Amino acid sequence: MASEAILNLSLYPKKSVRDMKKEEHIVIIGNSGAAINAVKGIRQVNAGCSITLLSLEPHNAYSPVLTTYLIAGKITRNQMALVDEAFYHYHRVERRYKQRAISLSATDQKVFLEDGTAIRYDKVLIATGAFPNLLDCDLPVGLPVFTLRTMEDAEKIQSSISNWRNAIFAGAGLISIQIANALRTYLERMIFIVGSDQILSQNLDNRASSLIQRRIEAEGGTFLLNRKIIRVEESPEGVVAHTDRGEAITGNALVVGKGVRPNIPKFVPEGIVEVGRGIRVDRRMRTSAESIFAAGDVCEAKDLISGKYRLISNWPNACFEGLVAGQNMGGGEAFFEGSLAMNATSVFGLSFASIGEVRDYSGEERETSFYLDESRGIYKKWVFQDDRIIGAILLGDIGENAFVAEIIRRQLPISREKKALMGYPSNAASILCGLL
């Protein structure tokens, strides 16, 4: 059993008499990657404290990464579990499910719940994650419009799949493309209404996205770029989406996959906790308020490459942020190296990975080199800043992603390898692996 193996209480420091007198109480709000890894982190350094975990959802932790696999039928609901019952038992976590925290008093160090009870904390972790962006326009109630974040969302989609033939996707980010990939066997037509001039605009550059776009078009997808949905109405088939160019597109369902935004709880005390696009945290995952920590998609940590605050929501970052937060809350000292944008997946039989800064957000010109083999569907792009790699796109053949992620993470100077990469961008594995 996984959790038994991870946790061996004999390895953890024994309770000292001083700990017994004043037992610390840690409250974790949220129950997913960051929260679970925070529990692991706390217990790595502190066996004595008590942990209370608050969650809105009625079940044990699972990963939102797996929701598209659930829709595709690759896994069952039971297999979604990130950890099992034994994990909470062994880590001595008191769970309070279906509990919403409504307010938090930083001076009294208390969290107030919806049912009127108050929980005193010594340290609190806000790991409430993110929720999906919705359409800008108003939506009439009762339409078959779906988003995907939670297990319930996935089950809603699953239960109505049987009468889907044409589906409209608002946005062509990772979520939309992955849902489309999961449903490709059911769907006859997939229409993507995309706000920007390319698909996967958060992850890829236009060369890579056009390769993927062509692959999806061959599988029955249609892309309407540079359009916005301004109105959604009911139709006999399902829904009609009106775009700002005057088109009316009908489909059985509308799936909104426009990325996520941090689920910053309303109770976060304004003025005390610094909030940018997410809750801002330092390298030890502390917010600007004392004994309040944040981790996961809800927080905004400093970017590994630029060193500036940047909102990056992905699963590996959330896990490591949670671990660091847990170790610091438990009394240890751990540092998060900085969040790094990275993603790797395969859709429509095409694998791709994008790591680091692959697009010019700051507008400054970057040195890049790329290799494109359209017949084999292979594309590799390297982005440099001075003598460091700061970003990479791999498409078709993603063997190198194992090295690249680590090289970017360590910020290794690679002046010699850079020359080789500029010359032979396709032969990256043999050039880069020596750096490890």
Partner 1 sequence: MTTVRRKIIVDRDRCTGCQLCEIECSFLHEGGFQPDAARIRIQAREGGRSPLPLLCLHCESQECAFVCPTGARWKEVETGQVVFQEDKCVHCKMCLLSCPHAGPIDLHEEERLLVCDFCGGEPACVEACPKGALSIKDLRPIQNVLSETEDLISPGLGACQGCTAEWTIRFTVQVLGPNTVVGVPPCCMGGIVGFGTNTGAKIPVVFTLLPNSASMMAGVKHHFLRQERDVHVVAFAGDGGTADIGLQSLSAAAERGDNIIYICYDNEAYMNTGIQRSGTTPLGCWTATTPLGKEGRGKKQKSKDLPLIMLMHGLPYMATVCPSYPEDYLAKLEKAKQVKDGLVYIHILTPCPTGWQFPTEKSVEVGRLAVETNYFPLWEAVDGNVRFTKPIKFPKPIEAFTRMTGRHKHLTRREISTLQKVVDTRHQRLVALSKSTKKGGEICVSNGVATKGSG
The two tokens of residue 347 are 């859709």
Among 337, 409, 412, 426, binds partner 1 (CB under 8 A): 409
79 contact partners, CB below 8 Å, separation of at least 6: none
Select from 151, 136, 148 the least CA-distant residue to 193.
Answer: 136
406 contacts partner 1 (rule: CB under 8 A)? yes
Which range, of 66-74, 164-172, 203-211, 297-305, touches partner 1 by CB under 8 A? 66-74
- Smallest separation, CB 84 to partner 1 (Å): 8
Binds partner 1 by CB under 8 A, chosen from 27, 29, 35, 37:
37
Q: How far apart are CA 174 and CA 347, in angstroms?
A: 9
Among 13, 73, 413, 434, binds partner 1 (CB under 8 A): 434
* Shortest distance (Å) from residue 429 CB to partner 1: 6
- Which residues, at least 6 apart from 313, have a Cβ–Cβ distance to it below 8 Å? 130, 259, 260, 262, 297
Tokens found for residue 413? 């100077």
Give me the half-sphere count of Cα atoms (radius 13 Å) on the Cβ side of residue 78.
1
Give the nearer residue to partner 1 in terms of CB position, either 135 or 414.
414
84 contributes a contact to partner 1 by CB under 8 A: yes
> SS3 for 273?
strand
The yes or no reply on residue 319 touching partner 1 (CB under 8 A) is yes
Q: How far, in Å, CA of 205 to CA of 273, rounded?
A: 35
Q: What mask of x and - would describe binding to partner 1 in positions 298 to 317, judged by CB under 8 A?
A: -----------------xx-
Contact 247, 218 (CB under 8 A): no
Q: Choose one: 57-65, 126-134, 271-279, 286-294; the region binding partner 1 (CB under 8 A).
A: 57-65
Residue 341, CA distances (Å) to 173, 352, 402 in order: 14, 14, 15
Minimum distance, C-beta of residue 40 to partner 1, in the bound complex (Å): 7
Residue from 146, 320, 379, 382 that binds partner 1 (CB under 8 A)? 320
Does residue number 414 form part of the binding site for partner 1 (CB under 8 A)? no
Site membership for partner 1, residue 399 (CB under 8 A): yes
Beta carbons within 8 Å of 135's beta carbon, 6+ residues apart: 145, 170, 229, 232, 256, 258
Q: Binding to partner 1 by residue 26, rule CB under 8 A? A: no
CB of 28 or CB of 241, closer to partner 1: 28
Which CB atom, from 39 or from 135, has the smaller least distance to partner 1?
39
Q: How far is the CB of 109 from partner 1 (least distance, A)?
A: 29
Instruction: Mark residues 256-295: x for contact with partner 1 by CB under 8 A, - for none.
Output: ----------------------------------------
Where does 85-237 have alpha helices with state H? Answer: 85-90, 151-160, 174-182, 206-218
Rg (CA), the chain: 23
Q: In this complex, which beta carbon is closest to partner 1, that of residue 100 or of residue 184?
A: 184
Does residue 40 bind partner 1 (CB under 8 A)? Answer: yes
154 touches partner 1 by CB under 8 A: no
Size of the site for partner 1 (CB under 8 A): 50
Of the residues 74, 77, 189, 266, which one makes contact with partner 1 according to CB under 8 A: 74
DSSP element (H, E) containing 69: helix 67-71
Strand residues in 134-256 grouped as ranges (E): 145-146, 166-170, 189-193, 221-224, 229-234, 239-243, 248-251, 253-256
The amino acid occupying position 404 is V
Distance (Å, whole) CA 309 – CA 116: 36
Of all helices (H) and strands (E), which one includes residue 391? strand 388-395
**Minimum distance of partner 1 from residue 434's CB (angstroms):** 5
347 counts as binding partner 1 under rule CB under 8 A? no
Q: Which residues bind partner 1 (CB under 8 A)?
A: 2, 5-6, 8, 11, 33, 37, 40, 62-63, 65-66, 69, 74-75, 79-84, 315-316, 319-320, 323, 342-346, 351, 353, 355, 398-399, 401-403, 405-406, 409, 420, 427, 429-431, 433-434, 436
